[in-house]
């Protein structure tokens, strides 16, 4: 455990009785125990996000994703617990869920958060016997057209993505 290197932040969850320290160089959190600072362990939640648990109530564990905790470290007005609002999502700019550096995180809307998803944007339409391109906007699918070649459908999707998927 090297707490000597990097910037350190004390996060006082006074209403939760947790003291955390964040080491920016190691991208690690430490929790204060009676015997001193201990590394806070994170595990993969099966969807690529690192999570850790806190006991805020007796026998009731709450899990928090690491990227939300990192973002909170630098933005104390950010609500790490509310994910239901449309503008309280944290986006990994480069799409890598394991890269939780503050430079790779930003607040986005729910729709903007889907823009990084690795979607092809086109598929073979068996009835029309052509390639069909579409893009999703505001929870709805927008038809972009039918195309003779896969390349044309892909190009149509990528052009639409440049127009509609801006953050």
Alpha helices (H) in the chain, listed in sequence order:
66-74, 110-113, 150-164
The whole-number average pLDDT for the span 48-63 is 84
Name residues whose C-beta falls within 8 Å of residue 138's C-beta, 6 or more positions apart in sequence: 111
The whole-number average pLDDT for the span 64-78 is 89
pLDDT on residue 51? 94
What is the C-alpha to C-alpha distance for residues 121 and 160, in angstroms, rounded to an integer?
10
What totals of helices (H) and strands (E) does the chain contain, helices first?
3, 12
6: confidence class by pLDDT, cuts 50, 70, 90:
very low
Q: Which two tokens stand for residue 77?
A: 């007005």
pLDDT on residue 1? 46
Range of weakest confidence among 11-20, 82-91, 123-132:
11-20
Full-model pTM: 0.68
Beta strands at 36-39 and 43-44: parallel, antiparallel or unpaired: unpaired
The whole-number average pLDDT for the span 70-95 is 80
Closest CA to 66 of 52, 76, 55, 77: 52
Give the range with max mean pLDDT: 4-18, 33-47, 115-129: 33-47
Chain segment 107-151, per-residue pLDDT in tens? 888 777 766 666 678 889 999 999 999 888 777 888 999 999 988
Domains and CATH numbers, the chain: 8-113 (3.90.75.20), 122-164 (no CATH)
């Amino acid at each position: 455990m090297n707490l000597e290197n990097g910037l350190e932040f004390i996060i006082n969850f006074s209403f939760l009785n947790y003291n955390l320290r964040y080491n920016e160089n190691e991208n690690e959190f430490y929790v204060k125990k009676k015997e001193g600072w201990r590394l806070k362990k994170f595990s993969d939640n099966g969807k690529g996000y690192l999570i850790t648990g806190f006991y805020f109530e007796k026998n009731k564990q709450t899990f928090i994703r690491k990227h939300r905790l990192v973002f909170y470290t630098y933005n104390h007005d950010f609500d790490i617990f509310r994910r239901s609002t449309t503008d309280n999502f944290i986006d990994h700019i480069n799409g890598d869920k394991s890269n939780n550096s503050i430079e790779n995180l930003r607040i986005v809307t729910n729709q903007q958060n889907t823009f990084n998803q690795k979607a092809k944007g086109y598929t073979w339409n068996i009835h029309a016997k052509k390639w069909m391109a579409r893009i999703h906007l505001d929870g709805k699918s927008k038809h972009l057209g039918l195309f003779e070649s896969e390349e044309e459908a892909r190009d149509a999707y990528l052009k639409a993505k440049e127009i509609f998927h801006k953050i």
